[in-house]
Amino acid sequence: MPEGLTPSEVGKEIAEHHKHAREQHAAEDHEHRRDRWMSVIEAVILSTVAVLAAYSGFAAAKWGTSSSVSLARASTLRSKANRADLEALQTRTLDSVSFNAWFSAFVAGNVRDEVLAARRLRLGYRPAFYAWLATDPAHNPKAPPGPAYMPQYVIPQEVAAHTLDQQADAAFAKGAKDGDTEDNPHFPLANARYALVGVGFALLVFSVIQLTGLPSPP
């Protein structure tokens, strides 16, 4: 007949059982904490990716809008510049015709027609005309060929056309730059999305395999 355990052996067995239970409980608690932290990290990573994707789309849309507005403004300014340039050409033609009328009277020695032609000159043309007369063109071989060559000869529409052209160039450059900036978030983000979709698909397949191997719920 086998002998029973002595009280000291029973106490030792109980102590070992308690020790093993504590170790197992500690291991389970450590595993639980690790799983909980992994869940938190996963949630943070997924949230960060979602926020970055949303911000990237928002930034691209804003830059795209800014680019469209700048390019549209450049087109509008260019149209205004072309219109001002056409008006300047018409004004220059009018000044030339008016001066030719005066010059014809001057050559013919018709003082009355000279005075009449001078009175019909455009107000903005007169400063250049009288400044040219002050150079004594009839006797001064170094005098400019005509009032249009004088520094006083200014056509406002010509100045406006030049200014509008510069503004159109600046607006177009800004629109092109904003368009390039709009494209920048897309390419890196697209690669990141492909990688994320690939990883997500792999995790999905792994999860499905794991679930199919488990027994059905009671």
Q: Is residue 186 domain-resident?
A: no
Q: Is residue 208 domain-resident?
A: no
Q: Is residue 108 domain-resident?
A: yes
Q: Is residue 102 domain-resident?
A: yes
Q: Is residue 62 domain-resident?
A: yes
> How far apart, in whole angstroms, are the C-alpha atoms of residue 22 and residue 11?
16
Structural domain for 147, as ranges = 12-176
What are the tokens at 166? 């510069």
Q: 0.75 exceeded by the pTM? A: no
> How far apart, in whole angstroms, are the C-alpha atoms of residue 1 and residue 209?
54
pLDDT tens, 26-58? 666 667 777 677 777 767 776 776 777 677 777
Residues of the chain where predicted confidence (pLDDT) is lower than 70: 1-15, 17-21, 23, 25-30, 35, 42, 46, 49, 53, 185-194, 196-197, 200, 203-204, 206-208, 210-211, 213-218
CB atoms within 10 A of CB 70: 20
Q: Is residue 127 domain-resident?
A: yes
Distances 48 to 42, 43, 44, 56 between C-alpha atoms, Å: 10, 8, 6, 12
Is 150 within 8 Å of 56 (Cβ atoms)? no
Q: Is residue 215 domain-resident?
A: no
pLDDT tens, 167-189? 999 999 998 888 887 777 654 55
Counted domains in the chain = 1
- Three-state DSSP at 156 gives helix
Tell me how far apart the 2 most distant CA atoms of the chain are, in Å: 159
Q: Is residue 190 domain-resident?
A: no
